[in-house]
Amino acid sequence: MAPYIDEALLDDPDELLRKDSRQTLRALATAGAQVRESVTLTEEAGLTRLAEQDRPRSVLVAALGGSALVADVLELLAEPGSPVPVQARRNLPLPGWVGPLDLVVAVSLSGRAPGPLAVAAEAARRGASLLTVGADDSPLAEVCHRARGVHVGIGRGRENSRTSLWTLLTPALLGADAIGLIDCTPETMTEVARRLDERAEAYRPTSESFVNPAKLLAVQLAETVPMVLGDGPMGGVAAARASSMLARTARIPAAFGELPDAASQIVACFDGPYTRIGGRRPGTYDNARIRLGDIDTSTWEPRHFDTPDGPLLEEPRGPQGHPGDDIFADPYLDGPSPPQLGLLVLRDAPATPPTRESEEGRALTDAVFSTAREAGVRVMEAQAEAGQPITRLADHVATVDFTATYLALGLGLDPSVSPHVADLRDRTR
C-alpha cells in the first residue's frame, strides 16, 4: 500500500513552515544567493594563485555525503575537454601517484568530515597543491593554510550540506576554470544563479500544487515505488542527487541510473512485483476481460481490439485505476495491493542543432517511456531548459531538491531531522 501524502498540507504555507523545523525550503530557495556569495568569497580567497601555477598533472576531488555531488559534477564537466584527468575520492587511501605535480580539491561544509580532511592532510604531506572549501575556523582550513593552498570559506548561515550545495560547488567550479579544466567563468555562474532564482520562484511554498511542478511530482512519487533515470551523463548526475535526496530527506529509497547503460536494469524491473499483477506479462493471467464502458480509461492508454460485442481491453483495470489490478480483489480479504512502480525521467534540453547522438538518445528515452507505460508503470518526467551544461544541471538539481522536501513534508516528516540518523551518530561517537 502506498504511503499517504497530505495534499492539503502542501498548499498550507503556514503548516509547511511549522513542520519544516530547520527551514529547509527557505534554505533551498537561497541557492541563487549562495552562488553569488560564493563567487565573491572565491575571489577574495585569492583563487588567481591557482591560475599562476603550472597546470597540474591531475586533479583529485574529495567529497562525500551531501557534498558528494561536487566531485560528480567536476568529473562530468571536465570529461569532454579537460587536458588532465579528474577523479573523485571519498576517503583514504590517497592514490599512490598523487604528489607535488597534482591538485587536490577537498570539500566539507563543516571542515571536519573525516574523509576529505584525511585526504587533504595526506595530500599536503606529499606536497600536492590544495584547494579546500569549508568553514573558516575548521581543521580543513588549517590544513590548507599550512600547505599554502587556497581555502574558500562558506559564509554565514550554512548549516546543512544538502541545502548548501551551491556554496560548496561554486568555488570548485571556478577553481577548475582558473586552471583550464572547464569553461565556467563568474559570468556563467551568474547565469546559474539566475536560473536557480527562477526555479525557487516556481517552487515556492505559496504556489498551489496544481501550478507547482515540485509539489505535483511529490504527490505522484508518493504513490509509487520510485526509480529515477537520467537520459545522459548530466541527467545521470542529477538522478544520483535525486536518489540521495529522496532517501535522506523524504526517507524513500529510489533506484537510479543513466541512459544508455541503465536501460536494461531499469526496464527489467517492469517485469517485477510492482507492475500489473505479480510481474506477469500482458495476456498471461486468467482474469476475465472487461468492457471499456465499465471502467475509467482516462489515465491510461490501453491496447484493445474489436469484437462483435464492441471493443474489449486486453488488460483489466482495478478500482484504483492502475492497469493490471484485479477488479475482483477484496482489499479486506486479500490485503492492500502493492504500490505501483514509478519512473521519473530527468531529460536534458534538446540539442541545438540536433546531432545523431542526441536523436539516438531521445529515441532510446522514448522507447523506455513506451515500454514503461505498456507495463503499467507510472511515468513522470522533468526537462531542463536550454543553457550551458551547469545551468541545465541546476534546473534538475532544484527540481529534485524541492520535490524531495515537499514529499517529506507531505508524508508528515521533518526533512532535516532523522531520529535514526541521530541514533547512529550517538552510537558511533
Domains in the chain with CATH codes: 7-17+207-273+338-410 (3.40.50.10490), 24-195 (3.40.50.10490)
Q: State in Å, rounded, how far the first CA of the chain is from the last one.
A: 37
In this structure, which amino acid lies at residue 189?
M
What phi, psi does 302 have (nearest 5°)?
-80, 155
In this structure, which amino acid lies at residue 207?
S
- What does the pLDDT read at residue 423? 87
Sign of CA dihedral 209, 212, 216, 219: negative
- What does the pLDDT read at residue 333? 63
Q: Which residues share a beta bridge with 345?
A: 229, 381
Listed in sequence order, the residues at least 6 apart from 186 whose beta carbon sits closer than 8 Å to its beta carbon are: 39, 43, 174
- What does the pLDDT read at residue 383? 93
Whether residue 93 is preceded by a cis peptide bond, meaning omega within 30 degrees of 0, is yes
- What does the pLDDT read at residue 385? 95
Cα gap 210→233, rounded to integer Å: 31
Per DSSP, 323 falls in state B
DSSP three-state, residue 270: helix
Q: How many CB atoms sit inside 10 A of residue 33's CB?
A: 16
Q: How many residues are recorded in the chain?
A: 429
pTM of the model: 0.86
Q: Per the structure block, which three cell numbers stand in for 262? A: 541503465
Closest CA to 41 of 163, 156, 139, 146: 156
Per-residue pLDDT of the chain (429 residues; tens, 9 = 90+): 667 899 999 999 999 999 999 999 999 999 999 999 999 999 999 998 988 888 999 999 999 988 999 999 999 999 988 999 999 988 889 999 999 999 999 999 999 999 999 999 999 999 999 999 999 999 999 999 999 999 999 988 888 899 999 999 999 999 999 999 999 999 999 999 999 999 999 999 999 999 999 999 999 999 899 999 999 999 999 999 999 999 999 999 999 999 999 999 999 999 888 886 455 544 443 333 333 334 343 444 444 444 444 444 434 344 344 444 555 565 566 666 678 899 999 999 998 888 888 899 999 999 999 999 999 999 999 999 999 999 999 999 999 999 999 999 999 999 998 888 888 888 887
Per DSSP, 322 falls in state -
